[in-house]
Chain A
Amino acid sequence: MDEAIDVRTLGVRYNLRLTRKNTVRQAFRGLASRRRSGPTHFWALRDVSFRVPPGESLAVIGPNGAGKSTLLQVLAGILQPDEGAIEVNGRISSLLTLGAGFDAELSGRDNILLAGAFMGIPHGDMMARMPGIIEFADLGQFIDAPIKTYSSGMNARLGFSIATAVEPDVLLLDEVLGTGDATFRAKSQARVVELMKAARAIVLVTHDMSWAREFCNHAILLEGGNVVAAGEPDAVVRVHEERSEVRRAGGQPDRLPPITDTGLEPIAPTRGTAALIR
């Protein structure tokens, strides 16, 4: 069966020497002292393997810094895997952050076109969706004003309307549901639920465990860049909550062994069976 998302032994590595904002002087110093410097690489994700079949939705949970957002960035094609392979079938829409491509000097209308062009949506599609976007954002006369005159809430509303205007096959969500005032928040939640129903596959990164339980039929727990638990959302959430409890008490939970790909041949989906697969 063709998976909507197929991720195998994915690894994303940050070069610590480059991620520091470099100056030429530091680079020379780095060259001179290459031998005695500390770790040069940091694996934000390693040996991450999972599959999302069509019609399924996957919740990604885990503590801060576990690699959740990095995972979404790879799925969205923003980061390239340094190891492993990913395959995403279908049109992706990522609600990673809103209003990313905006240009403050341009009008709301121009920004809709600009954002669409950044996302690679054909011009014709974007023109067809324009009225819907404008209507949903509900900015009134402001749609023709430069967006530097917008309040942050208006900005987020426009961003949300653009991001959700395309009907994606694969929807990537990173907790963007808390935008705007109460009215718009209710409206946007309804829209997200609608999109989730229409999408072929969903990956949802969330700290809100009720979302994971309610909308997802599979979950993985990321810790330190590894998948440490996978299975039914209820079971995975329970594992996560137990471990969070230990952390909150000031302790350090035992390291869970990473769940890795066990073979080259496709593995049958494990959803609905064990909570923890070795």
Chain B
Amino acid sequence: MTQTNEAIRDAYRPVRPGLFATLRGTAEEIATRRRLILYLVRADLKKRGADTVLGNLWWVIDPLLTMLVYVVLISIVLNVDIDAYPLFIFAAILPWKWFSSSIADAVTCITTRERVIKQVAFPKIVLPISVSVGGIANFLFGLVPLVAMLVFLYPNHLSAWILLLPVIAAVQFVFTAGVAVLASALTVFYRDIGNVATHVLRLWFYLSPALYDAERATKHLEGQPFLVTIYNLNPFVALFGSYRNVIYSGGPPAWDLLTLVLAESLVLIVVAVIIFRRMEPAFAKVI
């Protein structure tokens, strides 16, 4: 049919950059498009507050209401007796809200930008990255009621260890960004991920020591070190534990587990970026 011989096609065949070049290119893209990320984050914040009476106050109220639901359910209905239980679970609900809302947004962040992806050439990685960065705002707003609770309701739980909160949050950010990048790319090809994500996130939350102590879970698994190891592989065991230490117990973060999570997250984000970049050229065709 076509007369071009393969040799000519071969001479101009596109080459795919290597892994290292991909990673470096991605870092450069993010750096040069930081202003786009900033605008996207700002647009998102504006949008969320736009249609509600209370506006951005919802960022503060929302985690409080979630906490209230669980306090009613667990400390009153199920009659679990943990000292300062609202603070105990709030230390986990806050970071979890950050993570789960970031992932819920990341899942749709590419598919909802269909028009611009088909019409403008830009590095698509800024979309999940801006979702992850925007999630930080979510967390920062939530710190307001947290500090208020510590100061006014539970001053005896307040300690200088809380100053290490940003360190734990930084580890969580790397993990969140990795999951967000991966989920956003996969959803382009499998829309079902959007439906599955809500349920996976809920199960993940209940399996993580948010409403209860990690020791309670590992006690159940006593004598089965293999299962305990599996349980501890969940990054949120280390994250919730560390948050709870600095906020609730007044102690240092679980450094060993936290370092492990950081290592896991760094591997994850590298893998996620490579997968994302491999899929990126197809986005404009598939969406």
Interface residues of A (CB under 8 A from B): 8-9, 11, 14-15, 18-19, 21-24, 27, 46-47, 73, 76-85, 94, 96-97, 100-101, 103, 105-106, 110, 113-114, 117-120, 123, 146, 226, 257-258, 260-261, 263-264
Chain B proximity of A128: nearest CB distance (Å): 15
Give the contacting residue for A105; candidates B32, B50, B284; CB below 8 A: B50
Task: Give the docked Cα–Cα distance between A117 and B43 (Å).
Answer: 13
Is B18 part of the binding interface, using a Cβ–Cβ cutoff of 8 Å?
no
**B46 contacts which chain A residues (CB < 8 A)?**
105-106
Asked if A78 and B2 make an inter-chain contact with CB atoms under 8 angstroms apart, the answer reads no
Chain B proximity of A23: nearest CB distance (Å): 5
Most chain B beta-carbon neighbours within 10 Å: one of A106, A120, A263:
A120
**A27 contacts which chain B residues (CB < 8 A)?**
190
Give the contacting residue for A96; candidates B32, B119, B281; CB below 8 A: B119
Chain B proximity of A276: nearest CB distance (Å): 15
Task: Give the docked Cα–Cα distance between A114 and B42 (Å).
Answer: 10
Is B192 part of the binding interface, using a Cβ–Cβ cutoff of 8 Å?
yes
Is B120 part of the binding interface, using a Cβ–Cβ cutoff of 8 Å?
yes
Most chain B beta-carbon neighbours within 10 Å: one of A82, A103, A113:
A103
Asked if A114 and B39 make an inter-chain contact with CB atoms under 8 angstroms apart, the answer reads yes
Chain B residues with a Cβ closer than 8 Å to the other chain, count: 36
Task: Give the docked Cα–Cα distance between A206 and B178 (Å).
Answer: 43
**A73 contacts which chain B residues (CB < 8 A)?**
118, 284
Chain B proximity of A78: nearest CB distance (Å): 5
Closest 4 CB pairs of A and B: A77-B121, A100-B119, A117-B36, A85-B12
**B115 contacts which chain A residues (CB < 8 A)?**
97, 100
Give the contacting residue for A260; candidates B3, B14, B35, B284; CB below 8 A: B3
Chain B proximity of A53: nearest CB distance (Å): 19
Task: Give the docked Cα–Cα distance between A11 and B2 (Å).
Answer: 12
Task: Give the docked Cα–Cα distance between A100 and B119 (Å).
Answer: 6
Chain B proximity of A197: nearest CB distance (Å): 25
Asked if B286 and A119 make an inter-chain contact with CB atoms under 8 angstroms apart, the answer reads no
**B12 contacts which chain A residues (CB < 8 A)?**
8-9, 83-85
Q: List 24 A-B contacts (CB under 8 A).
A: A8-B12, A21-B191, A47-B2, A47-B4, A78-B119, A78-B120, A78-B121, A79-B285, A80-B14, A81-B14, A84-B12, A84-B14, A85-B14, A94-B120, A96-B119, A97-B115, A97-B119, A100-B119, A117-B33, A118-B36, A146-B50, A260-B8, A261-B4, A261-B8
